């Protein structure tokens, strides 16, 4: 695209999507440590995971001094019951204002203009853009008319975007964008895109698959140049998504189809170093950096373990063994990250996880309260001296230092690399 091409003005705090290779919005795989990992390896922008408007409304914004993050929290759902006063708040959304400054795009799941504005207003001061999800085909998005279901209700989708442009952009000086999928025919897609770019948005991402298609099916790029031309004519930046695996490939596709940038999803989920020029790094190096970031921001352990199962190749012995880990300490032992062991124990305790028990403190207390059943006593008696020895060993478990593990001082995580504006 030429420098003389029309461009919708970018608000002062907003970002221009042109020339960018970015991390796609992914539920579970788009939490804070994953975004920090992508930025560390060269992603120009990162999308947070889709967050439903109703879930965001009612949260409390707090600065977390322990993790240097901004957290949006609320009491955990208890169904019809009122949660006890001493129940710890759940973190619904978390950003790192320093490392994600100028690079974080919040994606909202919505089917209502008023709710979209209300949810966006809660985070707009802390992010660089608001993106509307009109492309996710999964039931948790489409069941309430959100996600890809919005492609069938273009009047509603345009109303949502127009409301965000009208209320959020002038108040917070950030741009509004949308992520869609292609429709069955090029004519239908063109008609939709022309309506969307007329709402005042600054960016549009097209996932080159139809709603029924799944990731295993190859992306369809036949409509891509037409979409890029329509966006260019309106001055709206156009990103492409779908089977984009590396930065080098992304830049080739940008040149081939005339789009402004590209979004990487599955490739980054498997190895976030694909954002580096020249290709990906060995998985072990990437995993260590991910664990560092996860511990730095005290990421929920279940999410960390899920991502490790994406980053560690399935044929590696560590992939099978990671499923038995229930603490950061155990993960560092398994992966032989001995230099991170001390920090891992600190994080486990901060998250109310017992590093030695390999479960939660609550589970440990409950186990202590349980009396041995007759069946267990009989089994112990039948086992004789061998059973007695096993029980004795389990009650005298040695600490890391006693077992010969050299616990070194915690190393500081590498700073995120400088990303071009």
Please check whether residues 257 and 352 belong to one and the same domain: no
**Distance between CA 274 and CA 270 in Å, rounded?**
9
Residues 107 and 234 in one domain: yes
Q: Would residue 285 count as lying in a domain? A: no
The reply to whether 126 and 230 lie within a common domain is yes
CA distances from 50 to 89, 159, 287, 334 (A): 20, 19, 24, 32
pLDDT of residue 79: 56
Same domain, 261 and 312: no
The number of domains in the chain is: 2
Q: Is 136 a catalytic residue?
A: yes
Position 403 in a domain: no
Structure confidence at residue 278 (pLDDT): 87
Per-residue pLDDT of the chain in tens (421 residues, 90 and over written 9): 444 578 999 999 999 999 999 999 999 999 999 999 999 999 999 999 999 999 999 999 999 999 999 999 998 875 556 666 667 889 999 999 999 999 999 999 999 999 999 999 999 999 999 999 999 999 888 989 999 999 999 999 999 999 999 999 999 999 999 999 999 999 999 999 999 999 999 999 999 999 999 889 999 999 999 999 999 999 999 999 999 999 999 999 999 999 999 999 999 999 999 999 988 999 999 999 999 999 999 999 999 999 999 999 999 999 999 988 999 999 999 999 999 999 999 999 999 998 886 444 455 455 444 444 433 333 323 333 333 333 334 344 334 333 333 333 333 333 333 333 3
Residue labelled with tokens 């155990």 = 330
The DSSP code for 200 is T
Whether 288 is covered by a domain: the verdict is no
Same domain, 178 and 132: yes
CATH, residue 187: 3.20.20.70
Q: Do residues 125 and 73 both lie within one domain?
A: yes
Domain containing 323 equals 300-395
Residue 109 lies in a domain: yes
Q: How many CB atoms lie within 10 A of CB 212?
A: 10
In this structure, what token pair is assigned to residue 60? Answer: 């409390």
The answer as to whether 2 is a domain residue is: no
Q: What is the pTM of this model?
A: 0.83
CA distances from 84 to 77, 248, 278 (A): 11, 52, 53
Is 265 found in the same domain as 324? no
| All residues at 6 or more sequence positions from 79 whose CB lies less than 8 Å from its CB, including other chains | none
Residue tagged active-site, from 136, 231, 325, 332: 136
Predicted local confidence at residue 279, as pLDDT: 86
Last residue of a domain, one of 275, 310, 345: 275
With respect to residue 59, please indicate whether it lies within any of the assigned structural domains: yes
139 and 28 inside one domain: yes
The CA distance from 11 to 31, in Å, is 26
**265 plus 305 within the same structural domain:** no
Residue 127 lies in a domain: yes
Distance between CA atoms of 175 and 165, rounded to whole angstroms? 7
**pLDDT given for residue 177 in this prediction:** 98
**Residues 217 and 340 reside in one and the same domain:** no
């Amino acid at each position: 695209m030429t420098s003389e091409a029309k461009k919708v003005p970018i608000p002062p705090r907003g970002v221009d999507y042109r020339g960018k290779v970015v991390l796609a919005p992914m539920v579970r795989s788009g939490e804070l440590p994953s975004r920090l990992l992508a930025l560390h390896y060269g992603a120009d922008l990162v999308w947070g995971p889709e967050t439903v408007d109703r879930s965001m409304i009612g949260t409390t914004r707090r600065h977390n001094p322990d993790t240097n993050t901004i957290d949006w929290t609320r009491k955990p759902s208890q169904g019809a019951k009122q949660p006890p006063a001493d129940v710890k708040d759940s973190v619904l959304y978390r950003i790192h204002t320093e490392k994600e400054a100028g690079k974080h795009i919040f994606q909202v799941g919505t089917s209502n203009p008023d709710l979209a504005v209300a949810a966006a207003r809660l985070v707009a001061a802390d992010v660089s853009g608001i993106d509307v999800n009109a492309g996710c085909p999964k039931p948790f998005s489409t069941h309430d008319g959100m996600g890809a279901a919005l492609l069938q209700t273009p009047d509603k989708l345009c109303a949502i975007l127009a409301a965000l442009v009208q209320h959020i952009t002038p108040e917070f000086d950030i741009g509004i964008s949308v992520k869609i999928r292609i429709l069955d025919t090029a004519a239908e897609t063109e008609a939709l895109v022309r309506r969307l770019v007329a709402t005042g948005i600054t960016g549009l991402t097209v996932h080159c698959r139809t709603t029924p298609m799944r990731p295993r099916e190859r992306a369809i790029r036949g409509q891509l140049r037409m979409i890029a031309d329509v966006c260019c004519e309106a001055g709206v930046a156009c990103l492409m998504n779908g089977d984009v695996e590396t930065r080098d490939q992304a830049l080739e596709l940008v040149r081939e189809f005339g789009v402004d940038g590209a979004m990487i999803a599955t490739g980054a989920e498997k190895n976030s170093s694909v954002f580096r020029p020249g290709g990906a790094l060995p998985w072990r190096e990437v995993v260590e950096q991910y664990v560092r970031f996860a511990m730095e921001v005290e990421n929920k352990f279940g999410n960390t373990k899920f991502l490790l199962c994406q980053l560690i190749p399935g044929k590696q012995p560590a992939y099978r063994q990671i499923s038995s880990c229930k603490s950061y300490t155990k993960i560092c032992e398994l992966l032989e990250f001995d230099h991170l062991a001390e920090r891992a124990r600190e994080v486990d305790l901060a998250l109310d996880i017992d590093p030695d028990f390999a479960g939660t403190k609550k589970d440990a207390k409950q186990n202590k309260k349980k009396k041995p059943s007759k069946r267990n006593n009989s089994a112990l008696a039948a086992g004789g001296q061998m059973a007695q020895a096993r029980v004795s060993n389990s009650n005298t478990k040695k600490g890391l230092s006693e077992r010969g593990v050299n616990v070194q001082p915690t190393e500081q995580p590498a700073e995120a690399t400088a990303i071009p504006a």
